[in-house]
Amino acid sequence: MSTRLAALLLVLVGCGGEASPREAPLQMLVADPEGFDGQRVATQGVVRHFETPLHYWIEDEALNRVELFPPAMAAPLLGQEVRVVGTFRYAPASGRSLSLETISPLAAD
């Protein structure tokens, strides 16, 4: 194995081998859901919910929305502005969703 390849592998292992998520405002995810399908993204919005059937999503001021999974991760932050990282999915029949890796409240100004 070349020295250069070995060094690259060490860097990837040291970083967890995972690339940074793609920054994607909710407006972009709504405008081009197929373009983001299957990608690891970071976005932000306010956590909202609906009771029947129970589900959670984040939305921006323009009411662009993405559903959050699993709901238990979003529930404690209901009504708060958050930053989320996860895998974005889109299917015409079921809409836009994000499988959460992390969800963090944003600091209030």
Q: What is the pLDDT of residues 30-85, one digit of tens each?
A: 999 999 999 999 999 999 999 989 999 999 999 999 999 999 999 999 999 999 99
Identify the domain containing residue 58 by its residue range: 21-105
User: Which residues in 3-24 are b (16+ Cβ under 10 Å) and which e?
Assistant: eeeeeeeeeeeeeeeeeebeeb
Predicted TM-score (pTM) of the model is 0.81
Residue 78: give its domain's CATH number: 2.40.50.140
Q: What is the pLDDT of residues 80-107, one digit of tens each?
A: 999 999 999 999 999 999 999 999 999 8
Q: Sorting pLDDT into bands at 50, 70 and 90, what band is 19?
A: confident
User: What φ, ψ does residue 78 adopt, rounded to 5°?
Assistant: -55, 130
Task: Let me know if residue 10 belongs to a domain.
Answer: no
Task: Let me know if residue 15 belongs to a domain.
Answer: no
Task: Let me know if residue 76 belongs to a domain.
Answer: yes
Task: Let me know if residue 54 belongs to a domain.
Answer: yes
> What is the structure's pLDDT at 23?
97
Task: Let me know if residue 92 belongs to a domain.
Answer: yes
Tally the domains of the chain: 1
